[in-house]
Chain A
Amino acid sequence: MKAEQEPFLQARAVRAGYSGREVLRGIDLEVRRGEVLCVAGPNGSGKSTLLRAVTGLLPLRGGEVRIGGTPLGALSAKERARRCAVQPQVEAPMFDYTVGQFVLLGRHPHRPPLAAATAQDRDAASGAMEETDLAGFGERSIRSLSSGEWQRTLLARALAQEAPLLLLDEPAAHLDPGHRFVVHTLLRSLARKQNRAVLCVSHDLNLAAEFSDRMILMTQGRVQAAGTPEEVLTEPNLREVFRCEALRVAPNPFTGRPGTFFAP
C-alpha cells in the first residue's frame, strides 16, 4: 500500500443541502490511492448527498473538495470524469440499449466528440464486463436484465471509465451473496492491484468491515466515527447512530473482523 502520498479525494468541512434543508454539516473525508473507504450510516444521514456533493452534482455551501489535488470547480466536466467514476443508485432504464453499447458509453470522457470507439475503448469495456461477470451479455437489452444484472452493468460502465477514483452508492444492494462477494473482492483488488482510490457507500456493515481499509460512520450530516473497521464498528457507536439497542458486535470467527449481529 502506498498510503503516504497525498489523498486522491479530499473533502474539507463540506456543507451542502437542498433548498431549505441542510444535509451535510461539515464533513471531512480523505481517500487515498490503494485503499477502500466505506461510508455507513442510517437512512437520511447524508451518504448519497455526500456523493453528490463531492462529484459536483450539488453545489457546495461551504468547504472544499479536491480530486487529484485540483479543486472540483477548476476541473472541466470531462477532466472530472477522467479522474472520478461513479456507480449511482439503480434507476430503471427507459430505452433499449444493449449491455455492450451501454458499457462502451463509459468511455465517453476519453473519446473526442465524434470519434469512433478505438480498440482501447473496446478492450476497456469488455474487460469491465468480464470483471463484473457480464461476459456474454454484450447483445442483451438492458431492459431485459434482472436488477442484480443491471446493477453490475452500471458498475461495469463505471469501471470502463478507468478513473483513479471510484465512488459507489450501494453497489451490492440488489446482489445475491455470490455476486456481493465478487463485487467487493473486485473493489478491493482494484484498490490493491490497480492503485485506485475506492469510496463505497454501504448498508451492509459486515461486508464493509470485511472489505474496507477504513470506515466512516455518518449521522445527521456529520461524521460520528472514522478509522479502521475495528475502531468504528463498536457497540456504543452503532447503538447511538442506528438507535437500536439490539445491535451487537462480535469478531467474524474466520477473519477476526468485527461482525454486526442482532441480539433481540
Chain B
Amino acid sequence: MNALARLCLLAAVSVAVFVAAVCIGPTHLLDLPRWIELLRTGAATPELERASLVFWELRLPRVLLAAAAGANLALGGLLLQAIFRNPLAEPYLLGLSSGGALGAVVALAAGATSVTWPALAGSLALAAIVLLFCRQRIAADLPSLLLVGVALGALAQAFTTAIILRFDPGALRSILFWLMGSFAGRGWTEVWMLLPAALAGGLAIWLLHRPLDLLALGGESAHHLGVRVPLLQTAGIALAAVLAALTVAACGTIGFVGLMAPHLTRKLVGAPHGISVPGSMLVGATLTVGADLAARTLLAGTELPVGVVTGALGCLFFLALVAGKK
C-alpha cells in the first residue's frame, strides 16, 4: 500500500473516532432511527432540543477543540524533530508548559477570571527566554537548549508552586485540573482560537515540506542544497512555540502527544514531510480525541484530566518502543 492510500485510511479512522467521540457520552447521540423519526414528525420535543444542545454546545466544540489541540502539538513536535534532527524533540522542551502555568496562576492570584491570555503570554515569554539564551547555536546544540528549557522550567514551576500554596481549596482544585490538561468547560471561544491556528499552521508547514526533509537529513547538506537554514530554523521554532503555547493556554498541559504523534505518523505513513505533515495532524487529533473520550467515560460519574490519559498512553507507548528495539 502506498503512502497516500495509508494517509486516506488514517483519515477514515480519524473521522470514525471523531464521530464516536461526538456521539458517546451521558446523552447518547447515536440513536439515528429515533432522531430521523423525530425530525420527520417535526415536533420540537424537549428530547430533541436537549440532544441538539448537547451536540452544539458540548460535544462538537469539545471534539473540535481536542482535535485542534492534538494537531497543534503534533505539528510542533514534527517541526522540532526535523529542525533538531532528533526524534526526541517536542514543543514542551522549550519550557512552554511551565511558562504557561506560571502565567495562569499569576493571573488567578491577581484575581483574573480567565487564564487563557496570561497563560499564552507566560508560555511565549518563557520560550523566548530559552531561545534567546541559546540563540548563538540553537539548532546545532539540542542538549544545551534542553538543559536551559529544563532549568528555566523548574524555576517557573518553583514560582508556580509558591503561588498555588496561597490559594484556597476551590481555586486549588481548578488550577490543578488546568495544569493537568482538560477540555472540560471549554467552548467555541477556545475552538476558534486553536482550530484556525492548526489549519493555518499545518498548511504553512506543509508548504515547507521539501526544505524540512532536507533539514531533517542534515543541516549542512540542507545549506548546500539551497535551503536558508537559519531562517527556516528560526521560523520553524517560532511557529512550533506559538502553536504549542496557544494549546497550553486553551487546554493546559497535555503531555506526550507532541512526542508520540510524529513517531506514530512516521511508522504509519512514512517520514517524508509532504505526507507526514497531514499525517501527524490526523494522528495527533485522533490520539487526543480518543484520550479525551477515555478520560470522560472510563470512570463513571467523574472525569479524569486528559493529561492523565495521554501520560499513561505515552508511557506504554515508549515502553513498547523500547521493547520493540530490543
Contacts and interface: CB of A to CB of B under 8 A. Distances in A.
A84 B224 CA distance: 8
Given A94-B216, A97-B271, 11 more contacts: A55-B223, A77-B223, A78-B226, A79-B226, A81-B224, A86-B224, A95-B271, A101-B213, A108-B227, A114-B207, A154-B221
A84 B226 CA distance: 10
A82 B100 CA distance: 45
Interface string B192-221: 000000000000000100110110111011
A148 to B, nearest CB: 18
Contacts of A161: 225
A80 B220 contact: no
A105 B228 contact: no
Interface string A75-107: 001111110111010010111110001100110
Given A81-B226, A94-B86, A88 B217 contact: no
A1 interface: no
B6 interface: no
| Among all A-B residue pairs, the 10 with the closest Cβ atoms | A81-B226, A78-B226, A86-B224, A109-B226, A95-B271, A77-B226, A96-B271, A108-B225, A77-B228, A94-B85
Interface in A44-80: 52, 55-57, 77-80
B225 A106 contact: yes
A208 to B, nearest CB: 22
Given A96-B266, A97-B272, A111-B210, A105 B217 contact: yes
Interface string B172-207: 000000000000000000000000000000000001
B270 to A, nearest CB: 7
16 contacts: A55-B223, A57-B223, A77-B227, A77-B228, A81-B226, A84-B224, A86-B220, A94-B87, A94-B217, A96-B266, A97-B217, A97-B271, A101-B272, A105-B225, A108-B210, A114-B207
Given A95-B271, A96-B271, A111-B210, A88 B226 contact: no
A161 B220 CA distance: 15
B270 A88 contact: no
A108 B227 CA distance: 9
B23 to A, nearest CB: 37
A79 B225 CA distance: 10
Contacts of B210: 105, 108, 111, 113
Contacts of B85: 94
Contacts of B272: 97, 101
B268 to A, nearest CB: 12
A169 to B, nearest CB: 10
Nearest to B220: A88
Contacts of B226: 77-82, 108-109
Q: How large is the interface on A (under 10, 10 to 19, 20 to 34, 35 or more residues)?
A: 20 to 34
Contacts of A81: 224-226
B270 A96 contact: yes
A105 B214 contact: yes
Interface of A: 52, 55-57, 77-82, 84-86, 88, 91, 93-97, 101-102, 105-106, 108-109, 111, 113-114, 154, 157-158, 161
Contacts of A113: 207, 210
A102 B227 CA distance: 15
B221 A95 contact: no
Nearest to A90: B218
A49 to B, nearest CB: 12
Contacts of A57: 220, 223-224
B225 A109 contact: yes
Contacts of A111: 210
A178 B220 CA distance: 28
Nearest to B216: A95
A106 B221 CA distance: 10
B218 A102 contact: no
Contacts of B225: 81, 105-106, 108-109, 161
Contacts of B217: 93-95, 97, 102, 105
A97 B213 CA distance: 9
Contacts of B213: 97, 101, 105
A143 B81 CA distance: 17
Contacts of A109: 225-226
